[in-house]
A and B are shown apart, each in its own frame.
Chain A
Amino acid sequence: AQSVAQPEDQVNVAEGNPLTVKCTYSVSGNPYLFWYVQYPNRGLQFLLKYITGDNLVKGSYGFEAEFNKSQTSFHLKKPSALVSDSALYFCAVRDKNAGNMLTFGGGTRLMVKP
């Protein structure tokens, strides 16, 4: 069975500082990994995904994520945080043998303070 862990319920960072939101995963085969962001009273917005190839994936709004197979991690990063980045972030995994089902982590609330 596939699973995702986001070890931090909340991450606090000052505006302009780099941010990292952590994610680790467990799948039986090669993973497809995704990051989504959710603003209040909204659905999930797609940020980026890792399918194969380069371990550093670049996505929307200046976000990037680093895939590390040996550590089974897929941490989300941004060099300089904005107050408007404050939201709920979800990491998700899809096992290529599990159809189209996404398994989500519990979410990490990012708070960026001015």
Chain B
Amino acid sequence: KAGVTQTPRYLIKTRGQQVTLSCSPISGHRSVSWYQQTPGQGLQFLFEYFSETQRNKGNFPGRFSGRQFSNSRSEMNVSTLELGDSALYLCASSVLGAGTDTQYFGPGTRLTVL
């Protein structure tokens, strides 16, 4: 099976712009979660989608949003970019998002905000 794929791998934006990141989960996986990784804050949970519904949300401002499509692919959007949004954004998929499920991560999208 192909792993989790994320596009694009690298992005450079300027403050105030918006950005959309894409994630394709492993075939058959219905849960997609997003995480932000920064040197200062480490790995932080953004949100989780299951069957096109946001099921869980982390402690991030409303500028961060996401959605999931019927084929389980997911996108996340960050509006009005700030310098502090520079990070590696990781997507993870799991079969059902149940407690015992393993989350498998994609390679990430590195976002740089200038």
Chain A residues 49 to 85 lying within 8 A of chain B, measured CB to CB, are 49, 51
A22 to chain B, nearest CB (A): 16
> What residue of chain B has the Cβ atom nearest to residue A103's Cβ?
B45
With a cutoff of 8 Å between Cβ atoms, the chain A residues found around residue B4 in the complex are 43
> What residue of chain A has the Cβ atom nearest to residue B104's Cβ?
A46
B22 to chain A, nearest CB (A): 15
Total number of B residues with any Cβ neighbor in A under 8 Å: 28
Q: B105: which of A43, A96, A106 is its contact (CB, 8 Å)? A: A43
A46 vs B105: C-alpha distance when bound (angstroms): 8
With a cutoff of 8 Å between Cβ atoms, the chain B residues found around residue A49 in the complex are 102
Total number of A residues with any Cβ neighbor in B under 8 Å: 25
With a cutoff of 8 Å between Cβ atoms, the chain A residues found around residue B33 in the complex are 100-102
B105 to chain A, nearest CB (A): 4
Whether A114 is near chain B, meaning CB under 8 Å from some CB there, is: no
B90 touches A101 (CB 8 A): no
B45 touches A102 (CB 8 A): yes
Chain B residues 25 to 62 lying within 8 A of chain A, measured CB to CB, are 31, 33, 35, 42-43, 45, 48, 50, 55-56, 58
Residues of B within 8 A of A (CB): 4, 6, 31, 33, 35, 42-43, 45, 48, 50, 55-56, 58, 90, 92, 94, 97-108
Beyond contacts A102-B92, A102-B103: 9 other A-B pairs, Cβ-Cβ < 8 A, are A34-B103, A43-B4, A43-B6, A44-B92, A45-B105, A92-B43, A99-B97, A100-B98, A104-B42
